[in-house]
A and B are shown apart, each in its own frame.
Chain A
Amino acid sequence: MKEISYKKILFTEEQLQNRVKELGETLAHDYEGQDLLLLGVLKGSLFFLTDLARATKMPVMVDMIGISSIPDTTRATGIVRITKDVDIDITGKHVIVVEDIIRTGLTTAYLLQTLETRKPASLEVCTLLYNPDRQLIDLPVKYYGFEVDRSWLIGYGMDNGEIGRNLPFIAEIEHH
């Protein structure tokens, strides 16, 4: 069995839950009376999405989208593709893409480009963690939980070799 090791806790369970509750209240206020779809990005946003949806005290639709980069043996990098598409028709609906963390913004940019073609009423981004200095592309990040300047993290959805997602807090891990 793999051991979970980390350097230090960056956000405790209590800090995360309080902030998610605040974000939920903001969303309920901003989207009152509207068709809102919270679209989580697999798998990192799983826990954030479920907590956020429950903290948003209004009817919301929930769906998930999965994308992956497929390594190409002939090149250093491969291709990005959608592995699990949105089941709900997003046309005319208010969509918030829910992310665990935005680093360079390339993944999110790809997703937004793809989703925009389906003509949602609006398309915004809500990420738990956000590093504006590292972002290469200016994205419409309307909501975020915390700013971070570290990028090797574990817990609350984020993993190290598929382990650690179910930790209730977020910690920094060693990276060599």
Chain B
Amino acid sequence: MPIITISRQMGSLGEEVASALSSKLGWELLTRDLLMDRFFPEISAEQRSHLAESAKFYLSEYKDGKSFKDVLSDSLLQLAEKDSAILLGFGSQILLSDNSNAIHVRIIAPDALRLNRICKQFHLAEEAARELLASRDRKHKRFVSHVFGADSSSEELYHLVLNTGLLSVDECVAAILSTVKEHSLRSRITSETKKEGSRDHQKSLPVFKNPSEAEFARILDMYQIEWRYEPKTFPVEWDSEGNVTLAFSPDFYLTRFDTYLELTTMNQKYVNKKNRKLKKVRELYPGIHIKIVYKKDFLELAERLRGSAFPADEENADK
């Protein structure tokens, strides 16, 4: 299930972003305190205060030979399996770093602005606020570094790093929502036919192989039909050692219509090989919708759109 983890600096408005996101999506917002109660129901008041004081205490035993860290890891992974949720802090970005359904977000703000916000929020003088901020930052850094051996400020851990010195809470929420939407789509494309052996390359740079593909992409844009360029490869033949010897990478995937399109600019007589490949893809990857756009059809479509055949026939020119 989709999960959003939010790591934040103190005074960055990270809680506000998480809470606004939770109400927009209708997903539960799981804070450190809620997770503590849920994951460690048998914790004593003394243990709780030890954990709050020293990150190293997470490495000590909670019960049945398992440390607090072990229980935290297991419980978070289980939670991510069955629920959509927003996780605030608690090293969740590191524990779920390999989870392809998780989006990791870090909310930051310039130090001066954080200081200013802390002064106002807690009615503190600047010096006291500075100390509070420094101590919280230190404590957080120590928790992540001692428990997980990681640096929470490392940008590589996150899909998005958002600066509330430059963005409003609403803008942060909008950025996260649109990332979640796109990411879920990519995850769906990746996971479909994965077990049959399809290969995903959505993260590689899309480069059109010829002008026809670029023109076809423009036609799809015209009709507001959402597409992805060559998102996947479907191996269809292997040698005796299991190496792929023949594969098919359809040019376009129409996300809303769940259809792959292969554009061919070759003459009809050279298309037979492609048709055979297509037949194999359909056999090996059942349930997949692939269509070939033949040169003749493509040229006709482009011609109708340019209106050269029927200049006055605009409304009919696109079919």
A-B contacts besides A107-B319, A110-B223, A162-B313, 11 pairs, CB < 8 Å: A67-B318, A69-B222, A76-B215, A77-B306, A80-B222, A80-B223, A101-B319, A109-B223, A113-B225, A137-B254, A137-B257
Q: Are B315 and A175 in contact (CB under 8 A)?
A: no
Complexed CA–CA distance, A15 and B220 (Å): 35
A102 CB to closest chain B CB (Å) equals 7
Can you list 29 A-B contacts (CB < 8 A)? A68-B315, A69-B307, A69-B314, A69-B318, A71-B307, A76-B302, A76-B306, A77-B215, A80-B222, A83-B315, A104-B297, A104-B319, A106-B219, A106-B225, A106-B301, A106-B318, A107-B223, A107-B319, A109-B257, A110-B224, A113-B225, A137-B225, A137-B259, A138-B289, A159-B313, A161-B312, A161-B313, A162-B312, A175-B309
Q: Are A110 and B316 in contact (CB under 8 A)?
A: no
Which A residue sits closest to B314, measured CB to CB? A68
Query: Which of B297, B306, B315 interacts with A71 by CB under 8 Å?
Result: B306
Interface residues of B in 240-269 (CB under 8 A from A): 254, 256-257, 259, 261
| Interface footprint category on B | 20 to 34
Complexed CA–CA distance, A109 and B258 (Å): 13
Q: Are A106 and B310 in contact (CB under 8 A)?
A: no
Taken residue by residue from 127 to 159, chain A's Cβ proximity to chain B (1 for < 8 Å, 0 otherwise) reads as: 000000011111000000000000100000011
Is B180 among interface residues, defined by CB-CB distance under 8 A? no
Query: Which of A76, A107, A113, A161 interacts with B311 by CB under 8 Å?
Result: A161
Taken residue by residue from 73 to 116, chain A's Cβ proximity to chain B (1 for < 8 Å, 0 otherwise) reads as: 00111111001000000000000000011111011111001000
Contacts of A107 in B (CB 8 A): 223, 318-319
- Which stretch from A6-14, A24-32, A40-48, A52-60 is at the chain B interface? A40-48
Q: Taking A107-B223, A109-B257 as contacts, is the C-beta distance between A77 and B315 under 8 angstroms? A: no
Contacts of A137 in B (CB 8 A): 225, 254, 257, 259
With most chain B CB atoms within 10 A of its CB, the pick from A66, A69, A79, A103 is A69
Q: Are B223 and A158 in contact (CB under 8 A)?
A: no
Is B144 among interface residues, defined by CB-CB distance under 8 A? no
Q: Which residues of A contact B (CB under 8 A)?
A: 41-44, 66-71, 75-80, 83, 100-104, 106-110, 113, 134-138, 151, 158-162, 175
Interface residues of B in 257-316 (CB under 8 A from A): 257, 259, 261, 289, 291, 293, 297, 300-302, 305-307, 309-316
Contacts of B24 in A (CB 8 A): none
Q: Taking A80-B318, A106-B319 as contacts, is the C-beta distance between A134 and B297 under 8 angstroms? A: yes
Complexed CA–CA distance, A121 and B253 (Å): 29
Is B32 among interface residues, defined by CB-CB distance under 8 A? no
Q: Taking A41-B315, A104-B301 as contacts, is the C-beta distance between A78 and B224 under 8 angstroms? A: no
Is B218 among interface residues, defined by CB-CB distance under 8 A? yes
Q: Are B256 and A113 in contact (CB under 8 A)?
A: yes
